[in-house]
Structure 1
């Protein structure tokens, strides 16, 4: 493998006996992402309980998840623009309140439209504000060195927060009904609020500091101008990025990434395993193991991203994911066999390992606009997830099994591997100009 064009060549700061404030901000961001991701674990576990109580089809419930995923993705670049305009902390506080409100009010719903409104719209907007665009914004402002590593750690928080709640949510739903876990997750989002209020700051200059690893050759990123309309800034970034081949290749690959993770496995693995006789809590526990293993895989991916060509990493990740998904239908059964454990461990390492190299490629190609551009790339991720969430539910309703959904997702991942390797090297393109007031 060749070295990445943006390898972390400048050394980290010398040790001074004090932890740089950037790491504390990153820690607060990590906890906020984990807390906010708690609600993301609820839909996949509650599909069967909701179907049993209300008689809603898998497709009806999957549509609510799809609305959530679409708004989660589409609002991400606008959230990045709002963070530029008003600061990180106010946006995070508003997002956590939306998540808590949407989750708590679900206990009163009796009609599908209420499910779509609360799970889909309210929680989708809240989750979209604490998405990967938030990770890109925090990393780009507070870190110059170790950006790939920190991106990996924060990305792991998003996936891990979504999955480690699963066993508890499944147990609560089984023992007390689906309404109790909805209230518990709402409380978890509220518990994160004090940490965000007291620990998160918008920019190192707010505290008279330089970004971690800043040097004269690699200075602290400029403070956002706070000027212009946030929505127009986000749309301007899309307009400029859409003129480049790199953007469309990254967006297409990331759409497949979303379809094969959040949309398919995250939403439908539990009911698919249940179809094969596996207890609900056992299937949810397997997804939780994916979330735990994901920490290792994503942090390692961030470390590799600082050293290896991100295009090569993406191609490898997608190819391996595709092959594993094609094998999954033969592994499902009433008991958890060693072959299923092998899939869980392997797939967990690859779950969101794609994010650090994708963030790095956006930083290479789009410069200061990278957070907002990555927000649009992430929007494609969620659109792909939304299609898979509804599509896989319809496959299950029509055919009585998820087998075709697994095979299609595996084939798409192999295509994403090819698309990733087609992304131009950084020397072939020039970063977008710095954002101007709109």
Structure 2
């Protein structure tokens, strides 16, 4: 289950990278502005954020396998409609709605569900492995898709992602399971087989809202959701969608810029798995405080760099180590606080905050670029937000309810 979830996340990452790969080729062909495409990306994140609280509940209601297969079909539809688009509003449907719904019903809920259901021991490490798959997708596919746009028509760039998600669909159809009990196995680290409760008669929305009502009584939930909003704003929202055009403004070509993203992906892979290992051994709140502070430093530095090879290489290494490192300690805290059944649904709400942050940065950075003719203010604001997240986490650690410190 970890293996096929890892592959699915790799190719989902490739699908999510398509909009930023296509920004420059599409504005050259159609004469659009960057914000014309970034508004579709922002809509994708809004749809994603609106649905991900219900994605884990949907997995609880109809099963993980069915949800993943539905997401794969929507991803394929969205990619196909994107390469057929010739009006701006077409992207709102293909990228905003189709890719948004596809990502929203699995999101990081898939990783958290697999880790929480199938593992008791090594849960943080498993989350680190599965979230590092986002980095693996960048490492393998972003430079390849960027190269395709320079050698062939940009529409061919979606082929690797489409082929990959098709393979994942077959793997889930033949090998996917919903619970360890389906194979008469206990979760890793347990001696007894956990038999999940019978499927609730409640609809998905009611399941999710009940989990939110329960979680909202815990101050830790609001701290984790608030800082995860900042996580989305400062990672997938601004760097994930605007790094390549920002490099283009500074005379760095699309292939070289995507190579920096790939390098970032290598160290993201290392950093996320390392974070998973650390989250099993050290105070998760302190880890989050350090991660956000280091990310803030890297974002503030970038606009003042010379965008030379050495500077960008060092930045890619430093930022890559931290890019998704916040996920394992956040998931581990939620798993401890809310239990095996409810935790994935609660994480869906926290991840919704992450994606609303991504939406704000995806649109805001594009709008800033078109109106101020510079990405620098957006990156500086993102860096300041990271420092605010560190302050929030450490204040809660110092003055919040002691019994919730894990």
TM-score band, normalised by shorter chain: over 0.9
Match of 1:279 among 233, 236, 253: 253
In 1, distance between residues paired with 2:376 and 2:230? Answer: 18
Aligned to 1:395: 368
User: Is 1:428–2:403 an aligned residue pair?
Assistant: yes
Cα deviation 1:305-341 (Å, max 9, x = unaligned): 00001000000000000011101012243x41x2221
Q: How big is the shift at 1:113? A: 1.2
Match of 1:99 among 75, 100, 115: 75
Q: SS in structure 1 opposite 2:238?
A: helix
Q: How big is the shift at 1:430? A: 11
Verify the 8 A CA contact 1:77 1:375 in the aligned structure 2: yes
Deviation larger for 273-282 or 41-50: 41-50
User: Is 1:54–2:26 an aligned residue pair?
Assistant: no
Aligned to 1:406: 379
In 2, distance between residues paired with 1:280 and 1:162? Answer: 14
Cα deviation 1:199-246 (Å, max 9, x = unaligned): 22111111111111103xxx5544143112112101111122223211
In 1, distance between residues paired with 2:189 and 2:34? Answer: 49
In 2, distance between residues paired with 1:220 and 1:277? Answer: 58
In 1, distance between residues paired with 2:395 and 2:347? Answer: 18
Verify the 8 A CA contact 2:184 2:193 in the aligned structure 1: no
Q: SS in structure 2 opposite 1:100?
A: helix
Aligned to 1:10: none
Q: How big is the shift at 1:33? A: 1.1
Match of 1:70 among 39, 43, 46: 46
Q: How big is the shift at 1:55? A: 1.8
User: Is 1:252–2:235 an aligned residue pair?
Assistant: no
Verify the 8 A CA contact 1:141 1:220 in the aligned structure 2: no
Aligned to 2:333: 361
**TM-score, with structure 2 as normaliser:** 0.95
Aligned to 1:13: none
**Structure 1 segment 136-215 matched on structure 2, within 5 A:** 136-215=112-191
Q: SS in structure 1 opposite 2:199?
A: coil
Q: SS in structure 2 opposite 1:293?
A: helix
Cα deviation 1:376-399 (Å, max 9, x = unaligned): 100000000100010000111011
User: Is 1:342–2:317 an aligned residue pair?
Assistant: no
Verify the 8 A CA contact 2:118 2:179 in the aligned structure 1: yes
Aligned to 2:59: 83
In 1, distance between residues paired with 2:89 and 2:274? Answer: 42
Unaligned runs of at least 5 residues, structure 2 = none
Aligned to 2:281: 307
Q: How big is the shift at 1:190? A: 1.0
Q: SS in structure 2 opposite 1:165?
A: helix
Q: Rate the CA distance shift 1:397–1:428 in 2: closer, same or farther, 3 A.
A: same
**Structure 1 segment 311-330 matched on structure 2, within 5 A:** 311-330=285-304
Deviation larger for 183-192 or 285-294: 183-192
In 1, distance between residues paired with 2:124 and 2:98? Answer: 31
Aligned to 2:244: 270
Cα deviation 1:115-170 (Å, max 9, x = unaligned): 01110111111112231111111111111110000000001112332453111111
Verify the 8 A CA contact 2:75 2:98 in the aligned structure 1: yes
Q: Which runs of 4+ in 1 moved over 3 A?
A: 219-222, 422-427
Unaligned runs of at least 5 residues, structure 1 = 1-24, 432-438
Q: SS in structure 2 opposite 1:401?
A: coil
In 1, distance between residues paired with 2:6 and 2:325? Answer: 16
Cα deviation 1:221-272 (Å, max 9, x = unaligned): 4414311211210111112222321111111100111011100001001000
Q: Rate the CA distance shift 1:430–1:85 in 2: closer, same or farther, 3 A.
A: farther
What is the aligned length?
402
Match of 1:375 among 348, 360, 383: 348
Q: Rate the CA distance shift 1:196–1:428 in 2: closer, same or farther, 3 A.
A: same
